[in-house]
Amino acid sequence: MRYPAGYERLTTTTERFVALCDSSTYFYPNYKTNLTYPPMLTRNSDTFTWLDYNRHADEQSPLLVMLHGYGSNEKDLISLASYLDARLRVVSVRAPLVLAPEMYGWFPIEFTPGGITVDREAARQVAEKLVTFLEHLIEKLQPTGEKTFLMGFSQGSVMSYLTAFRNPELLHGVLALSGQLPDARPEAGTLPEALANVPFLVQHGLFDDVLPIDRGRQADAWLRDRIADLTYREYPMAHQIDQASLDFLASWLSERIDRVVS
């Protein structure tokens, strides 16, 4: 295949990056970027390390926070920012668990013959830390509506679910991509009432060999009776974001931004 400009081959198979600020965005496995950040992209470090893509520095904007998957980093999903609605300010957060150089996770997992096992206590703790970060971020950036959209890929989608189930009042909407529901789900009657009014988009690949398609279908079935505005889509892709899924999520997001700014 022809390698995208600005990339060099890596030996690891767990990193997934896309061309930074390139509107023709796909996931390219096994490459790292040497591209220079554009002027509207800045790096910050407090509770987490995060990238801030802000095209309208002098304006109040709707906010989208991105949470990458296991084995990736904050430079991954931010590459989609220029493809999304121009009204958005986009923040991409680096997970705290160091796995290897340039590779991070939100909480420990193990790959066993019976499937992936999760450290539930570590997941709970980092979810609490993320909620506090989001509260401070919203206070600092003062986004439109004083809430954020939350988009997670793979393990990042688990973090998005955990945040929504715990503090839906922080969110304009959730985009859960190629992920799964948390192992420990809230019991009936314990979900915050505000959760029902948070829009959800769930997307999954039919040929996903990391988190099989049944994980997406389980999320759809579980959310169906709990969320008023739920959209579920399947695509003929693997554990990735392809052009069709990206086109749809961009359109879905723009429709919900219209509601926020109206």
pLDDT exceeding 70 applies to what percent of the chain? 85
Average pLDDT of the chain is 86
pLDDT-based confidence at residue 117 (cuts at 50, 70, 90):
confident
For the whole model, what pTM was predicted? 0.86
Domain extent listing, the chain: 46-261
Is 70 exceeded by the pLDDT of residue 6? no
pLDDT in tens, 134-172: 999 999 999 999 999 999 999 999 999 999 999 999 999
pLDDT at 39: 62
pLDDT at 36: 46
What is 46-261's CATH number?
3.40.50.1820
Higher pLDDT, 185 or 66: 66
pLDDT at 110: 87
pLDDT-based confidence at residue 118 (cuts at 50, 70, 90):
confident
Least confident stretch, 32-36, 113-117, 249-253: 32-36
Residue 90 to residue 55: CA distance in whole angstroms: 9
pLDDT in tens, 166-220: 999 999 999 999 999 998 788 878 899 999 999 999 999 999 999 999 999 999 9
* SS3 assignment for the chain: CCCCCCEEECCCCCCEECCCCCCCCCCEECEEECCCCCCCEEEEECCCEEEEEECCCCCCCCEEEEECCCCECCCCHHHHHHHCCCCCEEEEECCCEEEECCEEECCCEEEECCEEEECHHHHHHHHHHHHHHHHHHHHHHCCHHHCEEEEEECHHHHHHHHHHHHCHHHEEEEEEECCCCCCCCCCCCCCCHHHHHCCEEEEEECCCCCCCHHHHHHHHHHHHCCCCCEEEEEECCCCCCCHHHHHHHHHHHHHHHHHHHC
